[in-house]
Structure 1
């Protein structure tokens, strides 16, 4: 996801650093001089994110701190499947290998259809 804090401003001072709280716990997880950043949520869920801007004086307080909140809903992505098999002779065993990666770790069932 792309987060854009470029609309932040401080009359008379330049913004020099942005602090991002990705999970809404009140602790800033990432800081940068860039106003536009990307972040990836690795699990399904709803997240409250915030950003705080620091001005060139390095002061933090009501006059130099801006916080916005954005509720982010992450949908469940489909599982990624990688399969391989060896060709066999009718009536003999063959090997089928299936590797499944499910980003949310919510895979609950496998279905097999060999028709």
Structure 2
């Protein structure tokens, strides 16, 4: 659903009905997801999108599952949202990798774009069977802000690849970087301000 757009608002929720029963099975704040059917057949999938004005729209598509197909790896973000990063910090982010129509060996994560952040794969190479899904971890390290990295939204692009050269889709991950100490003043600073105000009031009374 990455092509979804809202010209007069912001899309806040993506809801998926995988079996056409009128009930939404999953909901996310990001436009991409992956679902596995364990039986061959034709399935009707409905996507409902909601924006910040509580306006919604739906789209329905039939999906054919089963039969022979080309070897395929699919990678997707393993969480619905990512908490902001402070400068000079690092954290792991989970992703999921799915394997279709073949058995993949030595599956690893390749970093396509890092936006001047340090992005490394934590999970070692893994073998995947046809229809199997596994969780992987990537580590994202944000340096101190400066000339090369500024505060704001950063874009990371990753891709799964196996030893035979089969590559997945390119998954885009957006993270927000904050300047350290840019929030509320600390307790000590508040005490210092209070002490100055008290001193000024005392001096005013002495006059």
Q: TM-score, normalised by structure 1?
A: 0.54
Higher strand share: 2
Alignment partner, residue 64 of structure 2 = 73
Point out where structure 2 has 5 or more consecutive residues left out of the alignment. 69-100, 102-130, 132-207
Task: Tell whether 2:30 aligns with 1:34.
Answer: yes
Mapped partners of 1:46, 1:39: distance in 2: 14
Could you give the per-residue CA deviations for residues 63-95 of structure 1, whole angstroms, max 9, x where no partner exists? x222111111111589xxxxxxxxxxxxxxxxx
Point out where structure 1 has 5 or more consecutive residues left out of the alignment. 79-102, 104-115
Task: Considering Cα pairs closer than 8 Å and 6+ residues apart, tell me whether 1 or 2 has the greater RCO.
Answer: 1
Mapped partners of 2:3, 2:57: distance in 1: 10
Aligned length: 70
Mapped partners of 2:56, 2:38: distance in 1: 29
Task: Tell whether 2:10 aligns with 1:14.
Answer: yes
RMSD, aligned α-carbons: 2.0
Secondary structure at the aligned position of 2:7 is classed as coil
Q: TM-score, normalised by structure 2?
A: 0.31
- The list of structure 1 runs, each at least 4 consecutive aligned residues, that deviate by more than 6 angstroms after superposition, is none
Mapped partners of 1:72, 1:9: distance in 2: 23
